[in-house]
Structure 1
Amino acid sequence: MTVTVEEVPLTPTPAPEDIKPGRRVRLVGISPACLNGLTGITQADPASRATTRLDVLLDESSTEFLRRDHRVNNTRKVKVPGPDVTRQLLRGIPTGGMFYAENDS
């Protein structure tokens, strides 16, 4: 069976302005690399008027993954979550590196 490009449905990627506070997202294609693949809930930053960056409250599994990721020690942008932290807050994450993860398991 031959598959042509026309037969593959395209899933449009959300534009950065579509990412709103209170939505579950996955971080992709951002720096530092230790953040790629992590999931969490977007949070509004009341001190910022920028719509291109949001805070992200990582879920428990992503916080644990970040805690164990050796790459965190190679960057000053991200700190290793303490042993008592269950959900790490990441501040000022670019919305261009976020994709909705509502249906991720």
Structure 2
Amino acid sequence: MTMFEDRERAAEAKFVRDDEMAFRITARRNRLLGQWAAERMGLTPAETDAYAKAVVQADFEESGDEDVIRKVVGDLTAAGVDTDEPTVRRALEERHVEARRQLLEVR
């Protein structure tokens, strides 16, 4: 019976690690997206840091990426930056790849 319990514990631990890694990748991705958008808006380094944190926080409004995309598109538009939703979605996907790469290199 112990062998099955050990397997079950190992599977649960792997699930927790995978879930934590997915959360960290998403948070890093959102921070990178915030930095990307801040650069287009011409923000100062301090403003960029604050904005990147605000983008990360925006992801807690609802599940999925729509809250983040809506925020970034709205902020870029309000700042007079010529952009659209597909451009931001593409940037989000690119930042996801970069965030994953960064976190997996750290391991």
Max radius of gyration: which structure? 2
TM-score (norm 2): 0.29
TM-score (norm 1): 0.29
Q: Which has the higher strand share?
A: 1
Q: Which has the higher helix share?
A: 2
